[in-house]
Protein backbone atom coordinates (compact mmCIF):
# COMPACT_ATOMS: atom_id res chain seq x y z
CA UNK A 1 0.00 0.00 0.00
CA UNK A 2 1.29 3.45 -0.90
CA UNK A 3 0.30 6.70 0.81
CA UNK A 4 0.94 10.17 -0.51
CA UNK A 5 0.21 13.44 1.26
CA UNK A 6 -0.11 16.71 -0.59
CA UNK A 7 -0.36 20.26 0.63
CA UNK A 8 -3.49 22.04 -0.59
CA UNK A 9 -3.52 24.04 -3.75
CA UNK A 10 -6.37 25.97 -5.25
CA UNK A 11 -6.38 27.39 -8.74
CA UNK A 12 -9.04 30.00 -9.13
CA UNK A 13 -10.18 31.28 -12.48
CA UNK A 14 -12.32 34.24 -13.40
CA UNK A 15 -15.56 32.21 -13.32
CA UNK A 16 -14.76 31.14 -9.73
CA UNK A 17 -14.32 34.74 -8.67
CA UNK A 18 -17.66 35.64 -10.23
CA UNK A 19 -19.34 32.99 -8.07
CA UNK A 20 -17.71 34.37 -4.91
CA UNK A 21 -15.87 31.13 -4.17
CA UNK A 22 -12.45 32.69 -3.58
CA UNK A 23 -12.87 33.40 0.15
CA UNK A 24 -15.72 31.00 0.86
CA UNK A 25 -13.91 27.67 1.26
CA UNK A 26 -10.37 26.80 2.32
CA UNK A 27 -8.83 23.47 1.36
CA UNK A 28 -6.79 21.47 3.84
CA UNK A 29 -4.46 18.52 3.41
CA UNK A 30 -4.96 16.03 0.59
CA UNK A 31 -4.25 12.36 1.29
CA UNK A 32 -4.10 9.69 -1.40
CA UNK A 33 -3.93 6.02 -0.49
CA UNK A 34 -3.30 3.51 -3.27
CA UNK A 35 -3.62 -0.18 -2.42
CA UNK A 36 -1.86 -1.92 -5.29
CA UNK A 37 -2.82 -5.43 -4.14
CA UNK A 38 -6.56 -4.63 -3.91
CA UNK A 39 -6.42 -2.22 -6.88
CA UNK A 40 -8.19 0.51 -4.91
CA UNK A 41 -7.54 4.20 -4.42
CA UNK A 42 -8.86 6.48 -1.69
CA UNK A 43 -8.56 10.26 -1.96
CA UNK A 44 -9.37 12.45 1.02
CA UNK A 45 -9.28 16.25 1.19
CA UNK A 46 -9.98 18.36 4.24
CA UNK A 47 -11.76 21.70 4.04
CA UNK A 48 -13.27 24.43 6.15
CA UNK A 49 -15.88 27.07 5.42
CA UNK A 50 -15.15 30.17 7.50
CA UNK A 51 -18.29 31.94 6.25
CA UNK A 52 -20.53 29.28 7.83
CA UNK A 53 -19.41 29.46 11.45
CA UNK A 54 -16.12 27.62 10.93
CA UNK A 55 -17.81 24.53 9.50
CA UNK A 56 -15.18 21.98 8.50
CA UNK A 57 -14.93 18.43 7.29
CA UNK A 58 -13.47 16.10 4.72
CA UNK A 59 -14.47 14.75 1.33
CA UNK A 60 -13.49 11.13 0.65
CA UNK A 61 -13.68 9.52 -2.80
CA UNK A 62 -13.03 5.81 -3.32
CA UNK A 63 -12.35 4.09 -6.64
CA UNK A 64 -11.10 0.81 -8.02
CA UNK A 65 -8.94 0.43 -11.08
CA UNK A 66 -7.67 -2.09 -13.60
CA UNK A 67 -4.62 -1.82 -15.81
CA UNK A 68 -5.67 -1.71 -19.47
CA UNK A 69 -2.08 -1.42 -20.67
CA UNK A 70 1.31 -0.52 -19.17
CA UNK A 71 0.43 3.17 -19.55
CA UNK A 72 -3.36 3.21 -19.19
CA UNK A 73 -5.69 2.61 -16.22
CA UNK A 74 -9.44 2.12 -16.20
CA UNK A 75 -10.81 3.85 -13.08
CA UNK A 76 -14.22 2.93 -11.68
CA UNK A 77 -15.91 5.26 -9.18
CA UNK A 78 -17.04 3.32 -6.09
CA UNK A 79 -18.16 5.69 -3.34
CA UNK A 80 -17.87 9.20 -1.94
CA UNK A 81 -18.78 10.79 1.36
CA UNK A 82 -18.63 14.16 3.07
CA UNK A 83 -17.99 14.06 6.81
CA UNK A 84 -18.82 17.36 8.51
CA UNK A 85 -17.88 18.70 11.90
CA UNK A 86 -18.44 22.10 13.42
CA UNK A 87 -15.57 23.78 15.19
CA UNK A 88 -16.75 25.21 18.52
Per-residue pLDDT of the chain (88 residues), as tens digits, is 555 555 555 454 445 444 555 567 778 888 999 898 999 999 999 888 877 777 889 999 999 999 888 888 899 999 999 999 866 6
Residue 23, pLDDT score: 65
> Cα angle at 16 between 11 and 22, to 5 degrees?
70
Q: Check residue 1 and give its pLDDT.
A: 58
Q: How far apart are CA 50 and CA 56, in angstroms?
A: 8
pLDDT of amino acid 85? 85
Give the closest residue to 76 by CA, choosing from 41, 36, 34. Answer: 41
| Burial of residue 84 (number of CB atoms within 10 Å: 0-12, 13-18, 19+) | exposed
Q: Residue 22: CB partners within 8 Å, gap ≥ 6?
A: 12, 16
Amino acid sequence: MRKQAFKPFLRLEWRDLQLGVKNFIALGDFLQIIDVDQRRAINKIGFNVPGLGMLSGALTVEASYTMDSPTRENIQYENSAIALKQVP
